[in-house]
Amino acid sequence: MPAISNKGKSMPESPIRKLVPYAEAAKKRGTKVYHLNIGQPDIKTPKVALDAIKNNTVEVLEYSRSEGSETYRQKIASYYQKKHINVSATDIIVTTGGSEALLFALGTIADVSDEIIIPEPFYANYNGFATASGVKVVPVISKIDDNFALPPIEEFEKLITPKTKAILICNPGNPTGYLYSKEEINKLAEIVKKHDLFLISDEVYREFAYEGAKHVSIMEDESLAEHAIMIDSVSKRYSMCGARIGYIVSKNKQVISTALKFAQARLSPPTYAQIASEAALETPQSYFDEVIHEYVDRRNTLVAELEKIDGVKVAKPRGAFYCIVELPVKNADDFAQWLLEKFEYNGETVMVAPAAGFYSTPGIGLNQVRIAYVLKKEDLIKSVNIIKEALKQYNN
């Protein structure tokens, strides 16, 4: 039998999706499953985006330019300029989701066996993208007791080697919901300039900042022009996960011209999705105001309910729509599978994402799960009550 590649064998499973067969089996048994495991918002996609698809006059679905249509990139640049990010259309490449933007970024800046430092826990697919690119992830651990704040900058310096090419952050964070302060961004800016590294910031949740906090983009710092690479996406901002449109943004001309070669190799991003995404830029601010209000309510409800359970510790997020929860169990993977395979409460159960898959350090996060608060408040209350009852049974 022909052999599978070592790269393929080492490609990690998604901690978010690997439990899907158990969830499907539970549903077939007639059990209702509340999905707390995946960041698929139930917020409606802006009507202006859907109408652009329904009412368009396209007669031939042609390739677009490899870097995305010029009119769309110009409008993206205008959107950023309103956010105090001074970029032009030539600093932007439209990609097939933020995932492809990350792959292009890694392919552009790193060779096989080069290293990227990432505060963990981090978005699980960073492990997959690194494996696909032959890049080594070097984790620096942030802790639930510190609400997953940026680790001391000295911890980063200890890890820098001649192989180090970049520091990668997610801001606000998936899976932690942590929102980096301006002071923390400044510390990262100083270290990448000092050691001549890239700073990659995944900012797909930029709109989701709570309690009056302001999202600080690495692109706002003009001194980082040659170091900063921003990853963005329409998926969460406009509840358009299925559009698969993202961007890589940098004022470093070599980064953009190199990433463009990767974009040319895959030809072009999807045309219809660009039409919808371009129209989505006309979404009124009132849409975001309502969405943020809803997520703050959901976050507060979830955290308050979880804190009522003995032995549970929860980090309070200030952005995105995730939180990490520490449970009184030894193995959250086993607990998450048990919830779907062997447990129900009044004909219902929940699906969570075991947090160990969001770390690259072995043995860390084994008793943690990530919860996405993308369901309405009543469902979140029901879900936490199910978890409370499940913990009683599981631990007995």
- Are 246 and 232 spatial neighbours (Cβ–Cβ below 8 Å)? yes
Among 280, 300, 323, identify where a domain stops.
280
Task: Answer yes or no: do 101 and 234 share one domain.
Answer: yes
Chain centroid offset of residue 351 CA: 19
Beta bridge partner(s), residue 115: 136, 164
Is 188 inside a domain boundary?
yes
Predicted TM-score (pTM) of the model is: 0.95
Residue 50 lies in a domain: no
Q: Are residues 163 and 291 in the same domain?
A: no
Do 256 and 339 belong together in one domain? no
Q: Are 364 and 141 spatial neighbours (Cβ–Cβ below 8 Å)?
A: yes
The helix/strand/coil state of 211 is coil
Nearest residue to 166 via CA among 215, 122, 111, 221: 111
Mark which of 219, 253, 280 sits at the end of a domain.
280
Backbone angles phi, psi at 7, to 5 degrees: -60, -45
Within-domain flag for 52: no
Pair 98, 196 in one domain:
yes
CATH number at residue 352: 3.90.1150.10
pLDDT value of residue 12:
87
Question: In terms of residue numbers, what domain contains 120?
Answer: 60-280
307 domain-assigned? yes
Residue 283 has phi, psi (to 5 degrees) of: -60, 130
The pLDDT value recorded for residue 141 is 94
Pair 318, 198 in one domain: no
Structure confidence by residue, pLDDT tens digits, 87-106: 999 999 999 999 999 999 99
Q: Considering the domain boundaries, does residue 316 fall inside one?
A: yes
Domain match, 271 and 298 both: no
387 and 254 part of one domain:
no
The answer to whether position 53 is within a domain reads no
297 and 388 in a common domain: yes
What is the structure's pLDDT at 18?
A: 82
Q: Residues 247, 153: one domain?
A: yes
Same domain, yes or no: 176 and 302? no
Is there a single domain that holds both residue 125 and residue 227?
yes
55 located within any domain: no
Which own/partner contact pairs does 216-221 have at CB distance under 8 Å and 24+ positions apart?
216/171, 216/180, 216/181, 216/182, 216/185, 217/83, 217/84, 217/85, 218/185, 218/188, 218/189, 219/80, 219/85, 219/86, 219/87, 219/249, 219/251, 220/84, 220/85, 221/185, 221/186, 221/189
CATH value at residue 97: 3.40.640.10
Reported as a pLDDT band with limits 50, 70 and 90, residue 396 is confident
Per-residue pLDDT tens over the stretch 320-338: 999 999 999 999 999 999 9
Beta bridge partners of 63: none
Total domains present in the chain: 2
**What are residue 330's phi and psi, to 5 degrees?**
-85, -30
Per-residue model confidence as pLDDT tens digits over 29-71:
999 999 999 888 888 999 999 999 999 999 999 999 999 999 9
- Looking at the fold, whether 290 and 276 belong to one and the same domain comes out as no
Dihedral Cα 275, 278, 283, 285, nearest 10 deg: 160
Domain C-terminal end among 280, 309, 324: 280
Q: Measure Cα distances from 294 to 288, 316, 377, 382 in Å.
A: 10, 16, 9, 17
Whether the CA torsion 335, 338, 339, 344 is positive or negative: it is negative
Tell whether 49 is covered by a domain: no
pLDDT tens for residues 145-194? 999 999 999 999 999 999 999 999 999 999 999 999 999 999 999 999 99
